[in-house]
Structure 1
């Protein structure tokens, strides 16, 4: 852990030095750089997908940098794929346009380039300088290394400003690019070898992490909180019990663990109604998570921002909040009464989860009006085509 911290510190120093010379480096007007330091295909990929579908790569050269990128994205005209920290830094300072939603490259942009931080969801839980997990000695200017940051609602503007130490003019109002994928017409279930006709309902369960893979971020006071790395369903006996309830209600549960979560210990052999979604499984078939999410009948989550996006579909949501007090103490939320902004069944125990499944099968749909109200609060600026709006606003046009 100490070695990794030293490496991060060296990268910070190098980025700081490069930031001083960035203003004098010429920018290529037809160069777009898309960057992720960790595997992740949501906002960045949605922008990339729009570029390809609308043949913007005929006019612009696109450099996409992310671990394992060559395994999931096909080579196209004027598309350059790599993952190298030094190459990424070079692309960063020579591109007119830069996109990222997670990244270790924190170089201050020059005035003759646009660096757009797409982030990765509306921050329901505390992030940046508002998070209780933030390193206390973190320099105040380290988070503010972009021209603009995407914000989906004026109600969240101050949260971003305080989290990243921003100025008002750095706020860019738009919906998240990944939300465009919720309306995809792709037949994802067939491509994933799922016979949708066998089930009355398909539910997605998406978790946030309690302990990150590198152990650096922790949202629980109990490191042995779960054998499965799932909240509430903390052992294999509970997995088996849940499968029986799903089977009785003829529901398929798609389980997607958070990408930064510690390795999942969920075992589903013999569980007929639970399928663990591995990222490589669907991305290798050119399917994105939100394309699958858009085809589901309901969502189960906890404090992940995915529920804010899912509100756009106005479908049932179950919130597993059995550890909300511990989570708030370790990390914190950006709203004083977070439960008031979670429009769905609040699940504290296994019986509550069973009732959620039963109500779905009996077509009971509660909370509809509240979902609409909360969606307007968080998704004020969602557009029919967020990718087009963002690119047009930046001057990237066909």
Structure 2
């Protein structure tokens, strides 16, 4: 069983094809939004083994309680520690410096990470041991290697010959799926220093595009620059990470997407005019955010201009890179993250005396897990099938 939010969250969407290929049981996709979106994706990508089930149903609750294996991105009826007979995998929705709150009701067997820097933090946050955190990369990173087709560029109204710079800000004013609204800072579109941004980006050969967070309530169109929403990407049949993989550079702040993007070795800058306020409202999980960032920090529109000019002139300019910071973050390699995760999970299952679920052959080398765990007598009780 898989559960994602938003429905087309990349960590589930990119995992599904390999689950279909490697898992022998039935697959259920629990969706909290419009089931038609998930069914359209299943049909378009030829995944007939995947059955879409609305989250607000008794069947979804039953599946959550009995499924042999569960993958989720934001928690799903997970306030109780799963029994040893079940494998519950917290894919989560990325890594990064934002503090994770309200995680006490998100329990799992395993947690996934895409960056060494946050491996221990995720273990502590979600109440698992560090060896239960799989450093395999986020499954969604597979899409970074799929360049957009000419047809997809056309659907988005973008020129593939331009330097495409994506701006992925985290939300200052947000609203979640339950309608709860909160404010961590002033909306970026109201900042006076961005009034000249339209003029800054009006240069031949450059496209600056804002992709807001799904929970963002800001109206970036007021800045006079291009905005692409979740709906725009869905209508164009473009995954966010396909768009990222087709870009030249990124501007972000505390979004988890920049951590995954590091694997491409492309320029990343950080627009953080309100870093002190974010530290006090949102909270960071690192002592000093500015010291870990693997790219220039942009404080105003002048800094943005300098960065865009450098990217337009030479996107591989060493001056745009921070190799020491990149190495310190320890981003997982890009490519085949779903299969790395499924292989890792099969080894994990064997080490805890359970049967592997995804068809991996037993490793020829000794397990990388602790001898104490390997020494346990294997259990011969069958896991609930959930089918």
Which TM class, normalised by the smaller chain length? 0.7 to 0.9
Aligned partner of 1:12 in structure 2 is none
1:127 aligns with 2:100: yes
Q: Calculate the aligned-residue CA RMSD, in Å.
A: 2.7
Aligned partner of 1:310 in structure 2 is 261
Aligned partner of 1:244 in structure 2 is 199
Aligned partner of 2:36 in structure 1 is 70
Sort the Cα spacing of 1:339 and 1:367 in 2 relative to 1 into closer, same or farther, 3 A. Answer: farther
Q: With structure 2 as the length reference, what TM-score do the two structures score? A: 0.78
C-alpha separation in 2, matches of 1:121 and 1:179 = 10
Residue correspondence of structure 1 range 56-205 to structure 2 within 5 A: 56=22, 59-66=24-31, 67-71=33-37, 72-75=40-43, 76-85=47-56, 86-106=58-78, 107-128=80-101, 134=102, 142-143=105-106, 145-187=107-149, 189-190=152-153, 192-197=155-160, 199-205=161-167
C-alpha separation in 2, matches of 1:337 and 1:238 = 26
Sort the Cα spacing of 1:357 and 1:317 in 2 relative to 1 into closer, same or farther, 3 A. Answer: same
C-alpha separation in 1, matches of 2:327 and 2:41 = 34
C-alpha separation in 2, matches of 1:268 and 1:325 = 25
Residue correspondence of structure 1 range 49-60 to structure 2 within 5 A: 49-51=17-19, 55-56=21-22, 59-60=24-25
Offset, 1:347: 0.9
Residue correspondence of structure 1 range 377-392 to structure 2 within 5 A: 377-382=328-333, 384-392=335-343
1:255 aligns with 2:255: no
Aligned partner of 2:4 in structure 1 is 36
Sort the Cα spacing of 1:258 and 1:315 in 2 relative to 1 into closer, same or farther, 3 A. Answer: same
* SS at structure 2 position matched to 1:304: coil
> What are the Cα deviations for residues 341-376 of structure 1, in whole angstroms up to 9, with x where unaligned?
112221111111122122222226244552x33333
C-alpha separation in 1, matches of 2:232 and 2:12 = 19
Aligned partner of 1:289 in structure 2 is 240
Aligned partner of 2:378 in structure 1 is none
How many equivalent residue pairs?
336
Offset, 1:81: 0.9
Which of 268, 272, 279 aligns to 1:328? It is 279
Gaps of 5+ in 2: 346-356, 361-387
C-alpha separation in 1, matches of 2:8 and 2:182 = 18
C-alpha separation in 2, matches of 1:316 and 1:248 = 19
Sort the Cα spacing of 1:159 and 1:216 in 2 relative to 1 into closer, same or farther, 3 A. Answer: farther
Gaps of 5+ in 1: 1-32, 129-133
C-alpha separation in 2, matches of 1:235 and 1:40 = 31
**2:169·2:211 contact (CA, 8 Å) conserved in 1?**
yes
1:267 aligns with 2:221: yes
* SS at structure 2 position matched to 1:267: helix
Sort the Cα spacing of 1:329 and 1:367 in 2 relative to 1 into closer, same or farther, 3 A. Answer: farther
Residue correspondence of structure 1 range 204-215 to structure 2 within 5 A: 204-213=166-175, 214-215=179-180
Sort the Cα spacing of 1:368 and 1:265 in 2 relative to 1 into closer, same or farther, 3 A. Answer: closer
C-alpha separation in 1, matches of 2:147 and 2:234 = 16
Aligned partner of 1:48 in structure 2 is 16
Sort the Cα spacing of 1:154 and 1:361 in 2 relative to 1 into closer, same or farther, 3 A. Answer: closer
